[in-house]
Amino acid sequence: MNTPTSLAAPRHAALRRKVISVIWSLLILACIYTAWVFWLIVRPLRRTPAFLERLGNYWQRDLSAAQEWQVWSVVTLDLALWSLLPVAIVCWWLSSKHLLRDMSLNTTSSTWLRRGAWSGLICSVMSILTRPFISYLYTLHLPVPSQLWLWNINPSDLLGMLICGVLLLLSYLMTWMTEIAEENKAFV
């Protein structure tokens, strides 16, 4: 069993540096991803007519008569879902902070990891479920036969759900391992 003094030992310094560099790299990548998604969400607000023209060409619909509230409602819906991404990042940051404090698994770290994983998973699932509303809102000004209700699932959606699912399972494993270690501590 490691004592607090053995964690500061030189033989653990290399491991600690590796863990710190991996955690900070992942947090930086998550922040960059969140900023990129934000940029993609607000992009229709910058040049709305050009965006609607490209989208109309893709859907083979005339979206030039779309109202401003339609674009704003889609952006608001996406931003509501996007707000779960920073929550997930903050939860994962708090989890890594507790993990790095003493370089051991604990229930606090696993709780924050679980909260972040649930936040990311909810964001991914809700993004898939609300995707038909986006096409519907953009085509709401058209006659009823021309309105769209499109479902699509991208490989990145499945990858996001898979990653969040793995993090969720990891958080539960951390909790179970901590409980087992506490039970075994009584025997030592």
> Mind spelling out the 3-state secondary structure of the chain?
CCCHHHHCCHHHHHHHHHHHHHHHHHHHHHHHHHHHHHHHHHHHHHCHHHHHHHHHHHHCCCCCCCCHHHHHHHHHHHHHHHCHHHHHHHHHHHHHHHHHHHCCCCHHHHHHHHHHHHHHHHHHHHHHHHHHHHHHHHCCCCCHHHCCCCCCCCHHHHHHHHHHHHHHHHHHHHHHHHHHHHHHHCCC
What are the 10-residue block averages of pLDDT along the chain, 188 residues in total?
52 80 89 92 90 90 89 93 91 86 79 92 92 90 88 88 91 86 74
Stated pTM of the model:
0.79
* pLDDT reported for residue 1: 44
* pLDDT reported for residue 71: 92
Nearest-angstrom CA–CA distance, 66 and 7: 62
* pLDDT reported for residue 5: 45
User: Scanning the structure block, which residue is given the tokens 């500061």?
Assistant: 8
Total residues found in the chain within this entry:
188
* pLDDT reported for residue 126: 93
Nearest-angstrom CA–CA distance, 76 and 46: 15
* pLDDT reported for residue 176: 87
* pLDDT reported for residue 185: 76
Nearest-angstrom CA–CA distance, 112 and 92: 6
* pLDDT reported for residue 160: 87
Residues 6+ apart with CB under 8 A from 37: 82, 85
